[in-house]
Every structure is written in structure tokens, then in C-alpha cells.
Amino acid sequence: FQTLALWRGLSLKGGRFLSSIGYLNDIHQHAWVFQDAPLPYKAFLGGALKQDGVQFKWVAPTPVFLELGAEFSSGDQFPGSDRNKNGVGGSSIFGHIGGDIGPSYAWRTGLSYLRFSPLDRDYEDVDSLGGAVSNSFTGKAKLWIVDGVLKWAPNGNASHTNFKLQGEYFQSRQNGTLTYD
């Protein structure tokens, strides 16, 4: 479910949804310029962060676009793991700010922070002899994302000519126990 408007720019979303972290994550794959997810999304989020949980989002009544939000989830998707219990296993906070520069340019930048508590998160690896090795990780996984986008379309009409420059920086820290093979 998703509310349209609660009070003064506040909205609530619940169920299974794409997280609003970063720039690209909450854009559905069919709307991407390329079919495949960018490498940081594959490496740090397993393609995209889709989770079961609840999201609170607030769009401030300011002259520039200002959005703040928080999400709480079961944390059962990578970078978390299925913890086989109820409760919050993953959380994130995010903020985005943006606006227009004349009639032809628009910009947006953001900062996101994710925290997960994986429990025996399994993954396959290859040893030095080329054999398959099963590993698991238990601990805390934290991820920071800084994103930015600049869009150009003559007089705001993107139907014939447009240009988009976007970038995202990911930094991950994981502390815990790694069980090798």
C-alpha cells in the first residue's frame, strides 16, 4: 500500500517495494536506459534493494525539492539475510535535494545510509584451485550512497532532445564473522 498524501507532504508505503535509496534503485528496470543493473547495484545490493517493510517519506514545502525518509524492513534480502524471525533486520535513511536551473536544466543530489544484520548469509566463491567454496557471513553490514543527477532538455521538452548525467558512489563496511568453506 501507498498513501497519496497524509499531512503536509508526509507519505507512508508498506509491503514489498523498491527502496528509495540512491538515485536508480526505486526506478523500475523497464525504465532504465540499459537492461542490466550497474555494477555497484549488483555488488552491494544484489541488483536492486527490494524489501518487505514500511517507508516514511516527507517532501518539505520549500522552493527547492527536499525529501527526507526512513525505511524499516525484515532485512531478508541481500545485503541482509533471512534471519528466520520477525522484527527489523534492515533499516535505511535518505535525503534528496534538487531543483531547476532555468527552463532547460534540473538537478538532484542525495545521501543514503543502510544498515543490515545478516545471519549466516551464504555465498559461493572459488578457491585457488578453481573449486567451489561455500562461505557465510554473520554481523553488521553498513552502506553509504552519495548520488547526483543533472538533466538537460531544451525548454524542458525531453521528447526529442535530452541529456542526463548521473553518478552514484557506494561505500560498504561489514563487521562480523566469516565462515570459510
What is the C-alpha separation between 96 and 55, in angstroms, rounded? Answer: 15
The helix (run of H) or strand (run of E) holding residue 98 is strand 90-101
The pLDDT score that the predictor gives to residue 84 is 66
Q: Which three cell numbers stand for residue 87?
A: 522484527
Stretches in the chain below the pLDDT threshold 70: 83-85
Cα separations in angstroms, 144 against 56, 67, 105, 130, 169: 19, 17, 27, 33, 8
Q: Which three cell numbers stand for residue 115?
A: 544498515
The pLDDT score that the predictor gives to residue 124 is 80
The pLDDT score that the predictor gives to residue 175 is 94
Q: Is 12 helix (H, G, I), strand (E, B) or coil?
A: strand
| Residue 116 · residue 82 · CB < 8 Å | no
Could you tell me which residues are beta bridge partners of residue 111? 95, 146
pTM of the complete model: 0.87
| Residue 126 · residue 132 · CB < 8 Å | yes
The pLDDT score that the predictor gives to residue 178 is 87
